[in-house]
Each structure stands twice: as C-alpha cells, then as structure tokens.
Amino acid sequence: MHAPLTTRTAAEVLVDQLIANGVEHVFCVPGESYLGVLDALYDRDITVTVCRQEGGAAMMADAIGKATGKPGVCFVTRGPGATNAAAGIHIADQDSTPMIMFVGQVDRHVRGRGAFQEMDYPAVFGSMTRWTTEIDDATRVPELVSRAFHAATGGRPGPVVVGLPADMLRERVSTDIAPPFEPIEASPGKAEMARLEDLLGKAERPLMILGGTRWTEDACDAVTRFAERLHLPVATSYRRLPLFDPLHPCYAGDLGLGPNPKLIARVKAADLVILCGGRLGDIPSQGYTLLDIPGPRCKLVHVHPASEELGRVYQPHLAIQSGPVRFAEALESIAAPGDIAWREVTDASHAEYLDWTETATDQPGGVNLGAVMVWMRDNLPVDTILCNGAGNYAAWIHRFYRFRRFATHIAPTSASMGYGMPSAVAMKRLHPDRTVLSVNGDGDFLMNGQEFATAVQYDLPIITIVCDNGMYGTIRMHQEREHPGRVSATDLRNPDFSAYARAFGGFGVTVERTEDFPAAFRAAEDSGQPAIIHLRIDPQAITPSATLDGIRDRALAARRD
C-alpha cells in the first residue's frame, strides 16, 4: 500500500486508483449520477474523451482493451446510459476483451424504490460480464477496483460493470491506494509440452490456429519462430488476423466469414490441430462444422487460459490451460521432428492463401472494393490501424487487406454493427501518430456515425470510409438465399456522407470510380481533418465472388428443382 493518508472523496480515490493501475484514457458520456468522478477527472493526469452516445464510449473502451490487453475504461450514467452502453459490453464479452464500465447509481438510501433511472446492474449485466458489482462502502473502493481489474483480465478476459451510488462517491475517506494489478498468467506444465512434442512427432498434417486474446507482440514473435523451426502451417481465427504475418511462408489463411474453401479443406484434412488461444466458435468453425463435437476426429490440442473453455465444446486430446504468452515461451523447448513430413503441405497452403488474396476479383459497378483494399494494403504504412464493424463490406477487408503488425485490426468478433467509428476514435487517441482507418457499411456507419463529431472535437484526422450500397447488404444476401425476390426491410435511402462530414466540420469526398480512390485518399490525408470517403458501391457486388442476382437466380433454380 502506498500514497498518503489524506482524506479524499471516494470519487477521487477511484480516479487515483485507476491512475495507479496504469489507466491513461477514459471514455464517457456525462451524467448527474457521477458528478463526483467528473470533478475528480478535472485536474488529474488522465485523458478524458467525451462521447456522443454510451454505446460509442463502451466500444471505445473495448477497442483500448483489444489494442493494449489492459482493461479499457468507460464511465456512463445510470439507467439510459447503462442500457445504451450494453452494446459495447456484449462485444467485450463475446470478444474476450478486458474492459471496465463504471456506471452511476441512485443514492444508497433510495435504492430499491425504482428511483429515477435506477437499475439493478447485477440482474441486467450479470449474464454478459465476468463480474458485476456495486460499491456501497467508500473505504472499499481500492479493494473492489483492484478486483475489477483482476476479473476483467484473468482467465478468459471480459467486461466488468461497477455501479457507483452517487452519495457513496461524495463521501470523504482516508484510504490508501492499492498497488497496481498484475495480470495473472497461467503456464503450461512440462508434461503437457512433452505430450505436444510427441503428438507433433507423430503428425503428418498438423495445423496451428491462433485466436483469442491475451496475446503480446513477443508472444506472436515466439509463435512465428516456432512455426519457422517446424515449418508448421498457421491459420488465424475470425478477426484475429494480426496474430501472424500473412506474408510469412507458414501462413495458411484466415478462418472467418467467406474463407478460402481450400483452407477449409486443409483444416478438415489435418490430423493434428493446435488451437492456441481461441475457442473455435460459431464463425471460425463455419457453424461448428470444421471439427466434430464433442470428439473431433483429428487430434485436438486446445490451449486456452480459462479452464472452463477447455472441453466446453470440443473434447481436446490434449488440453493445456495456459495463456498465449507462457505457451509461446514454452514452445521454444519443443524439438522439431527429425523429418518434417508436412513441408509441402505448408508451402501449398501458403501458395493457396496468396492465390486467394493477391488480386481483386472482378465486380459490377464503378468502385471495386477489392481494388480499394489492395491499394490501401500496398500504399499505407505497415502500422496502419484498421477499425471496422459488421456488414458484407468487411469480406473485402478480410480477403484482400493484409495486417502485418500486431494489433492493427480492431473489429468485433461478435460482428456488432456500429463499431468502426468509435473504435477508430479510441485508436487515434491512443496512437495520434499512426494512420487510423475506420471502414464502415452504410447501415453500419449510421449506428454510431455521431462519434465522427468526437473525432472533430479532438482534432483526430481519422480516415473514415463508408461503403454505400444503399442497403443492409448482408441481410439482403440472406434474404435472396432464403426468400428470393422478396426484399423486405433491407433497402436504405442514405444521406450524402461527404456532406455529412463537412456538416460536422470535417473533410468529405465521394468516389464513384476505383481509379479516383487514391487521389481521394490522399486529399483526405492532406486535409489534416477527420475525413469521410463516401464510396458508391453497386448493390450487385454483394461478395467478392457473387452478385445479388446470381444468389437470387440460384435460390429460385433450387426451388424449381
């Protein structure tokens, strides 16, 4: 314990405890329920970003958690603020992102009466957080904040919600600040690593899949060295692309939405799958079809920091309860088999990845999103951070863009729309000197497009791309498959997104032809302002390899058969 024994308000103790835990940024929408905290933030060394909607604030905190591995922090007001923020809490839960949301609460003496904006946080958030609590005793702020950091980062990381009764925040207490938290790393045992070595020695077609969170750049480097020594093919799980350099000769590709069919065949043919960090959930497992449940036919080695995830869906042949950091370190001890049987498989897998991603596919319409991704991949700095939400437009990111540095892709595995704008704000606050892109669909963007105002407020020259096809394209695609020709509630009449940018005080430009994109991008950069590049996309260009009419015709033909 340290810090002097002077009296402070509980709100001041809370903010000091955050600073002691290394928190540099908080994101908030103000509320009268936590005025004491806003006052404590006034003269403390912590960067505050005031947002336009709590969903955006919570997504910004999630983005910080994704980028740094340490809890991102947001503050929101009770009832309506908390419910708005729920979108970000759910993302952090599904994505295993460490984050902490502090939320105001009514005074303790009126609690339970259904007082103004009162809400029962454990009841509301209990099913999507690692821990939800309320601090009733001002002297326990350091203890409970410390526990919040441990709960958000331990095992499988996730969100924590902490309720703060307004009268508790006003109380003066003389309490010390607790020491900073240290994330707890589980390590693999020698016996498990020996069994892994043995399994590799007997394998003919092994494959490693990297996913989940708790990674560091060093851990990724160590896995890369291991893959190199064993010439092991490595795939990345859905939206965990930056865990492995896609141009490394061992890279086999991305297991996400619209994956390379050849990669799917390779996973199905593997006799040993080393699933490191992730859960191989619904999306990367292609609707739970890649491995048999509960007992996969291949030998499955599942490495995960949380015991409750091991054996939850798949029965692993070898379960290793370890975070990626310690597991990656331990990989150094594994000897390469004398004769590496899978050399050619690895080379072929990488060649298939390159073939699948190298050049944009032909598309209807003036703007080819694949060509836009290829241009950005070839022309932007390698440490560019790309943020996005959900929609079919993201298929072109996954397929054609390349993430060659750690934590350069910030996007929800929960495929929550509206994430691309707020997360880009958080990334530009965190890394003012790096290029930050926010890539959005037209439906997606307007879910949190108001955070463009936050980018303007803090002079954050983010380049925002809005892929405007005039529809909720993903749902239209499903509609054409299942109810061909019956377009229901998926058309959108959109604003002029470049005028939207200018109305907010930013730079806006509309692009109608692929060849105009580079100049538009450079003009957006040169403006030095937050910018929106409005891309007009032909609605027929629904995926990199299919048109809407093609999907409709196939569905109608299937009905006639």
Distance separating the N- and C-terminal Cα atoms of the chain: 75
Shortest distance in whole angstroms from residue 440 CB to ligand TPP: 7
Can you tell me which of 96, 384, 408, 474 binds ligand TPP, judged by CB under 6 A?
474
Question: Does 473 help bind Mg ion (rule: CB under 5 A)?
Answer: yes
Stretch that binds Mg ion, among 78-86, 340-348, 421-429, 466-474 (CB under 5 A): 466-474
| Burial annotation 263-298 (CB, 10 A radius, 16+ → b, else e) | beebbeebebbbbbbbbbeebbbbeeebbeeeebeb
Question: Does 188 help bind Mg ion (rule: CB under 5 A)?
Answer: no
φ and ψ at residue 208, rounded to 5 degrees: -105, 135
Question: Does 442 help bind Mg ion (rule: CB under 5 A)?
Answer: yes
Per-residue x/- track, 347-386, ligand TPP (CB under 6 A): ----------------------------------------
The total of other beta-carbon atoms located within 10 Å of residue 380's CB is 16
Shortest distance in whole angstroms from residue 316 CB to ligand TPP: 30
Beta partners for residue 133, in sequence order = 162
Cα-based distances in Å from 224 to 52, 143, 233, 534: 41, 39, 10, 38
Shortest distance in whole angstroms from residue 551 CB to Mg ion: 15
The full 3-state SS of 284-318, as one line of letters, equals: CCCCCCCCCCCCCCCEEEEEECCHHHCCCCCCCCE
Name the percent of the chain in helix, strand, coil, to the closest 5. Answer: 45, 20, 40
Rounded Cα–Cα distance for residues 446 and 23 (Å): 30
Counted residue by residue, the chain has a size of: 561
Is residue 118 helix, strand or coil? coil
Can you tell me which of 254, 442, 451, 480 binds ligand TPP, judged by CB under 6 A?
442
Rounded Cα–Cα distance for residues 157 and 214 (Å): 8
Residues in binding contact with Mg ion, number by CB under 5 A: 4
Token digits of residue 152: 């958000």
Can you tell me which of 207, 471, 524, 548 binds ligand TPP, judged by CB under 6 A?
471
Can you tell me which of 96, 392, 454, 514 binds ligand TPP, judged by CB under 6 A?
392
Shortest distance in whole angstroms from residue 396 CB to ligand TPP: 9
Is residue 428 helix, strand or coil? helix
Stretch that binds ligand TPP, among 20-28, 71-79, 264-272, 391-399 (CB under 6 A): 391-399
Shortest distance in whole angstroms from residue 179 CB to ligand TPP: 39
Rounded Cα–Cα distance for residues 406 and 324 (Å): 14
Of 552, 506, 505, 553, the residue nearest 532 (C-alpha): 506
Of 177, 174, 162, the residue nearest 34 (C-alpha): 162
Can you tell me which of 37, 57, 372, 417 binds ligand TPP, judged by CB under 6 A?
417
Shortest distance in whole angstroms from residue 485 CB to Mg ion: 19
Stretch that binds Mg ion, among 214-222, 397-405, 434-442, 509-517 (CB under 5 A): 434-442
Measured from the CB atom, the residue of 446 and 453 that comes closer to Mg ion is 446
Can you tell me which of 115, 475, 487, 555 binds ligand TPP, judged by CB under 6 A?
475
Instruction: Report the interhelical angle of 54-68 vs 420-430 (nearest 10°).
Output: 50
Our separate counts of H helices and E strands in the chain read 21, 22
| Tally of CA atoms within 13 A in the half-sphere of 236 that contains its CB | 30
Of 406, 362, 551, 413, the residue nearest 473 (C-alpha): 551
Question: Does 472 help bind ligand TPP (rule: CB under 6 A)?
Answer: yes
Can you tell me which of 53, 346, 469, 529 binds Mg ion, judged by CB under 5 A?
469
Shortest distance in whole angstroms from residue 439 CB to ligand TPP: 10
Can you tell me which of 88, 284, 443, 508 binds ligand TPP, judged by CB under 6 A?
443
Can you tell me which of 165, 441, 449, 506 binds Mg ion, judged by CB under 5 A?
441
Shortest distance in whole angstroms from residue 393 CB to ligand TPP: 4
Binders of ligand TPP in range 151-210 (CB under 6 A): none
Rounded Cα–Cα distance for residues 126 and 147 (Å): 16
Can you tell me which of 17, 237, 464, 469 binds ligand TPP, judged by CB under 6 A?
469
Binders of ligand TPP in range 488-517 (CB under 6 A): none
Shortest distance in whole angstroms from residue 388 CB to ligand TPP: 10
Shortest distance in whole angstroms from residue 171 CB to Mg ion: 50
Measured from the CB atom, the residue of 300 and 417 that comes closer to Mg ion is 417
Residues in binding contact with ligand TPP, number by CB under 6 A: 19
| Tally of CA atoms within 13 A in the half-sphere of 522 that contains its CB | 6
Measured from the CB atom, the residue of 344 and 491 that comes closer to Mg ion is 491
Stretch that binds ligand TPP, among 61-69, 327-335, 347-355, 437-445 (CB under 6 A): 437-445
Shortest distance in whole angstroms from residue 507 CB to ligand TPP: 22
Binders of ligand TPP in range 448-467 (CB under 6 A): 467
Instruction: Report the interhelical angle of 141-153 vs 10-20 (nearest 10°).
Output: 40
Report what 406 binds from ligand TPP, Mg ion, none; CB cut-off 5-8 Å by kind: none
Element (H, E) at 555: helix 548-560
- Which residues, at least 6 apart from 355, have a Cβ–Cβ distance to it below 8 Å? none
Shortest distance in whole angstroms from residue 211 CB to ligand TPP: 20
Report what 314 binds from Mg ion, ligand TPP, none; CB cut-off 5-8 Å by kind: none
Measured from the CB atom, the residue of 296 and 473 that comes closer to ligand TPP is 473
Question: Does 390 help bind ligand TPP (rule: CB under 6 A)?
Answer: yes
Can you tell me which of 131, 393, 400, 504 binds ligand TPP, judged by CB under 6 A?
393
Rounded Cα–Cα distance for residues 405 and 347 (Å): 22
Rounded Cα–Cα distance for residues 498 and 485 (Å): 32
Shortest distance in whole angstroms from residue 484 CB to Mg ion: 19
Residues that bind Mg ion (CB under 5 A): 441-442, 469, 473
Give the interface with ligand TPP as residue ranges (CB under 6 A). 390-393, 415-418, 441-444, 467, 469, 471-475
